[in-house]
């Protein structure tokens, strides 16, 4: 099922279309007496809650003994929710297997890297590669889908919950060796690509290859992450196939991911699913809007379409060193930011805490006594705003002219060998993202092989692992008139995590007409100056060498440690109507902004709404002949925004206006003409 601009018009419950913008919560009816359910759902309905996620930790209630299934309680809960006009997403309960399963079949338990076997009593204690565990997963998923797959009040399925840790048991090792054999065919090919002559690592057969997640040959480490990705992808596929056999095509399938999760490749995991979703938490209470914006854009890029926020915190979480509460305005800002970046639903975790268990302290919407806590009233106001804006949001999505390339292989490769502990891959990505988002006000974050023809500017902050096919893809984009910007450490490694002999940027050296001469970790800032301004480099610096007559030096290093003095730091080359630019240093924030603003203008990128203050976020959703602007003042001072066209407020009503005055932490949702 292709969603295009979201779920609008494709989902229905009992014959009625599901609202295009939903607010929800996680509800655990199995933890409470059935007599309590009507009051819970009445409180939800009063708060304008549209959807609940249920069941993702209820395996012991669904199947209290092997082969004995109890689904009647969930059937009654769904029916009661429907009476309160609340839709349901069912989570498969496979993240927390029941005690009868792990006791009777201990071989299904996960083994830690140090050889310890996980025990029952927590979650994610299963081995992701266990054929026996997958058989049980497929069984419970199929049973649920057979029972609820045609239920008109169920709109979707969540596979498992926050998948993450691999297992290091014997079965996983056997599968890893089989995966390597399928990839390389011969042990000689593996030895060649991993350069195993180094430290006498040469293997005689695949079974000799160790299985470790750190401290190993970089080629092995990169392939282990790819194997973990393939194993989790097949784990998801196992349940997807079981559900699709019985479920209605109108029911979506998703799985919820976590912050910047890099234990496996999220693009591959989401390939089998209808839509992407993630769990948006700010556990320390320090909401930085640009940090959250890039994560929304990252998740939107998994499927290159709208997504869901399956969990977010009602005020506070319970797993950070200090679980500070988000201020009420930040809860509202966060929810609308998610929508502005493509979320079609925001769900709060959770409705009411279990009276015991590991997450007693997490924020809720009602307390242990069943009565609303302060966060309930904040969410109620957010939900009321969602209801007002939903008709205009229908069939819309963000449309960006700027893209950033995000590569899991590159993230893993740099993390394996940082060279300097200060080179955090996510931090470096965000350093590029922030000025681009402020300037263009809409940025897509996509994989290195995504279609690029729609973008005027494509930026790859640290595309460390670059295949020949990816290089040809990027070169074709440039030759077609696109503008490509590469950041430091790009094009250093081939797909096997081996160094390209051409030096950086590897197979893109002919297109750039230049290359990296040497790279350096920095102890102290180094001055930079050139046509794009002046400032400093820190953390990382590369000296560049132009090799073509039409490759130009845009910036040079000043006097520093002797290695960098006067050497080129930024190269650019025009290729037809397009261009390629290589930035060889980690620039300080003011200089990064100056450089990227200039490159964006050169690529004919324009802001959605020019002239807004730095603390004002501009989001735009387009579709179905509509333009919706979501403006959020994240600052402590009021700001006046001058609109390029008259727009009417969806939250307060009134005539269309050309200016909007935003009070501190105010959100304005505007319907503007599509011109």
Encode pLDDT of 502-529 as tens digits.
999 999 999 999 999 999 999 999 999 9
Q: What is the pLDDT of residue 4?
A: 36
- Going by the DSSP 8-state scheme, the letter that residue 117 receives in this structure is B
556: phi then psi, degrees, rounded to nearest 5: -130, 155
Label residue 18 by pLDDT band (50, 70, 90). confident
What would the pLDDT profile of 487-505 be if each residue is shown by its tens digit? 999 999 999 999 999 999 9
Choose among 332, 340, 328: nearest CA to 384.
332
Q: Taking 80 as the threshold, does the pLDDT of residue 675 lie above it?
A: no
Q: Could you tell me if residue 166 is inside a domain?
A: yes
Per-residue b/e over 127-137, b at no fewer than 16 CB within 10 Å?
Answer: bbbbeebbebb
| pLDDT per position as a tens digit, 83-108 | 999 999 999 999 999 999 999 999 99
Q: Which residue has the tokens 């938490």?
A: 281
Range of the domain at 638: 616-672
Of 602, 633, 663, which marks where a domain is finished?
602
In a domain, 16, yes or no: yes
Please give the pLDDT value at position 8.
45
- Indicate the pTM of the whole model: 0.96
The residue from 347, 374, 393 where one domain ends is 393
Q: 3-class DSSP state for residue 468?
A: helix
Average pLDDT over residues 225-245: 98
User: Are 442 and 511 part of one and the same domain?
Assistant: yes
Tokens of 551: 């490759």
Choosing from 358, 393, 428, the residue where a domain stops is 393
From 78-82, 358-362, 383-387, the region with the lowest mean pLDDT: 358-362
- For residue 448, is it within any domain? yes
Q: Are residues 423 and 341 in the same domain?
A: no
Q: Would you say residue 10 has pLDDT above 70?
A: no
Confidence of residue 142 (pLDDT cuts 50, 70, 90): very high
Q: What was the pLDDT predicted at 11?
A: 52
**Are residues 342 and 307 in contact, defined by beta-carbon separation less than 8 angstroms?**
yes
- Banded pLDDT at 2 (limits 50, 70, 90): very low
Question: Is the domain of 355 the same as that of 407?
Answer: no
Distance from the Cα of residue 629 to its chain's centroid: 23
Q: Are residues 341 and 462 in the same domain?
A: no
Residue 587 in domain: yes
Assess whether 160 and 268 both reside in one domain. Answer: yes
List the structure tokens of 647: 């727009």
pLDDT over 90, % of the chain: 94
Q: What is the pLDDT of residues 246-277, one digit of tens each?
A: 999 999 999 999 999 889 999 999 999 999 99
Is residue 87 within 8 Å of residue 153, measured between CB atoms? Answer: yes
Q: Do 468 and 554 belong to one domain? A: yes
Q: What is the pLDDT of residue 465?
A: 98
pLDDT of residue 462 exceeding 80, the answer is yes
Give yes or no: residues 328 and 435 share one domain. no
**Confidence (pLDDT) at 261:** 85
Residue 636: pLDDT over 50: yes
C-alpha angle with apex 188: 185 to 189, nearest 5 degrees? Answer: 55
Q: Residue 143's CB: how many other CB atoms inside 10 A?
A: 16
Mean pLDDT of 9-14: 46
- Token reading at 112: 């830690």
Give the number of C-alpha atoms closer than 13 A to the C-alpha of residue 285, restricted to the C-beta side.
Answer: 14
Handedness of CA 414, 415, 419, 422 (dihedral sign): positive
Q: Which of 475, 544, 472, 467 is nearest to 498 (CA)?
A: 467
Rounded alpha-carbon distances, angstroms, from residue 544 to 92, 183, 522, 595: 52, 35, 16, 17
Residue 1 pLDDT exceeds 50:
no
Judge if 523 and 467 occupy the same domain: yes
Residues 359 and 431 in one domain: no
Residue 493: DSSP 8-state:
B
SS3 289: helix
Total of domains in the chain: 3
The pLDDT, as a whole number, for residue 359 is 87
CATH number at residue 621: 2.60.40.1180
* 262 compared with 485, residue with greater pLDDT: 485
- Same structural domain for residues 562 and 655? no
Interatomic CA distance for residues 648 and 331, integer angstroms:
24
| pLDDT band, residue 16 (cuts 50/70/90) | low
Task: Give the full edge-to-edge strand order of the sheet including 639-649.
Answer: 616-623, 626-633, 667-672, 639-649, 657-662
Same domain, yes or no, for 638 and 583? no
Report the C-alpha gap between 133 and 609 in whole angstroms. 53
**Residues 389 and 409 occupy one common structural domain:** no
| Of 287 and 164, the one with more pLDDT | 287
For the chain, the average pLDDT equals: 95
pLDDT tens for each residue of 412-421 = 999 999 999 9
**Separation of alpha carbons 102 and 123, rounded Å:** 12
Q: Is residue 216's pLDDT more than 70?
A: yes
Half-sphere exposure of 652 (CA within 13 A, CB side): 15
């Amino acid at each position: 099922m292709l969603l295009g601009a979201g779920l609008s018009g494709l989902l229905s419950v009992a014959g009625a279309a599901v609202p295009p913008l939903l607010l929800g919560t996680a509800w655990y009816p199995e933890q409470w007496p059935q007599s309590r359910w009507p009051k819970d759902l009445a409180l939800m309905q009063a708060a304008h809650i549209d959807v609940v996620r249920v069941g993702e930790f209820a395996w012991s209630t669904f199947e209290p003994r092997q082969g004995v299934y109890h689904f009647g309680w969930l059937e009654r809960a769904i029916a009661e929710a429907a009476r309160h006009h609340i839709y349901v997403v069912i989570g498969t309960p496979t993240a927390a297997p029941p005690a009868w399963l792990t006791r009777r079949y201990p071989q299904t338990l996960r083994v830690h890297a140090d050889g310890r076997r996980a025990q029952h009593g927590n979650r994610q204690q299963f081995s992701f590669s266990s054929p026996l565990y997958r058989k049980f997963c497929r069984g419970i998923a199929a049973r649920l889908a057979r029972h609820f797959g045609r239920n008109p009040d169920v709109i979707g399925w969540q596979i498992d919950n926050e998948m993450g840790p691999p297992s290091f048991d014997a079965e996983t090792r056997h599968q890893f060796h089989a995966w390597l054999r399928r990839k390389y065919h011969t042990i000689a090919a593996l030895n060649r690509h991993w350069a195993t002559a180094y430290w006498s690592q040469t293997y005689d057969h695949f079974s000799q290859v160790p299985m470790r997640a750190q401290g190993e040959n970089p080629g092995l480490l990169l392939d282990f992450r790819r194997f973990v990705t393939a194993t989790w992808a097949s784990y998801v596929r196992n349940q997807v196939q079981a559900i699709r056999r019985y479920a209605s095509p109108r029911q979506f399938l998703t799985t919820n991911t976590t912050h910047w999760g890099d234990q496996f490749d999220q693009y591959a995991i989401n390939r089998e699913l209808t839509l992407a979703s993630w769990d948006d938490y700010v556990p320390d209470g320090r909401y930085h809007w640009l940090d959250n914006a890039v994560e929304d854009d990252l998740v939107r890029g998994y499927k290159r379409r709208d997504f869901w926020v399956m969990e977010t915190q009602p005020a506070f979480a319970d797993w950070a060193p200090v679980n500070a509460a988000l201020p009420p305005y930040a809860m509202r800002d966060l929810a609308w930011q998610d929508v502005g970046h493509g979320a079609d639903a925001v769900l709060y975790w959770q409705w009411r805490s279990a009276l015991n268990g590991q997450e007693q302290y997490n924020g809720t919407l009602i307390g242990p006594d069943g009565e609303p806590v302060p966060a309930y009233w904040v969410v109620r106001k957010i939900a009321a705003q969602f209801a007002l804006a939903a008709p205009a949001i229908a069939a819309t999505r963000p449309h960006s002219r700027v893209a950033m390339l995000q590569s899991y292989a590159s993230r893993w490769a740099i993390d394996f060998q940082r060279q300097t502990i200060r080179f955090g891959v996510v931090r470096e990505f965000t350093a590029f993202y922030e000025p681009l988002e402020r300037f263009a006000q809409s940025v897509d974050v996509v994989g290195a092989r995504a279609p690029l023809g729609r973008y005027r500017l494509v930026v790859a902050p640290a595309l460390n692992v670059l295949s020949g096919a990816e290089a040809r893809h990027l070169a074709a984009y440039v030759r077609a008139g696109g503008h490509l910007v590469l950041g430091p450490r790009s094009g250093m490694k081939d797909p096997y995590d081996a160094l390209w002999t051409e030096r950086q940027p590897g197979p893109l050296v002919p297109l750039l007409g230049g290359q990296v001469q040497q790279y350096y970790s920095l102890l102290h800032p180094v001055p930079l100056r050139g046509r794009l301004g002046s400032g400093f480099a820190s953390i990382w610096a590369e000296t560049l060498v132009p090799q073509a007559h039409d490759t130009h030096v845009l910036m040079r290093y000043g006097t520093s440690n002797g290695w960098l003095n006067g050497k080129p730091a930024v190269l650019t080359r025009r290729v037809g109507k397009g261009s390629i630019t290589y930035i060889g240093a980690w620039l300080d924030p003011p200089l990064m902004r100056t450089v990227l603003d200039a490159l964006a203008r050169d690529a004919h990128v324009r802001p959605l709404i020019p002239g807004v203050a730095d603390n004002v976020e501009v989001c735009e959703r387009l579709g179905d002949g509509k333009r919706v602007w979501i403006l959020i003042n994240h600052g402590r001072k009021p700001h006046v925004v001058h609109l390029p066209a008259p727009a009417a407020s969806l939250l307060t009503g009134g005539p269309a206006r050309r200016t909007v005055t935003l009070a501190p932490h105010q959100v304005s949702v505007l319907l503007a003409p599509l011109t």
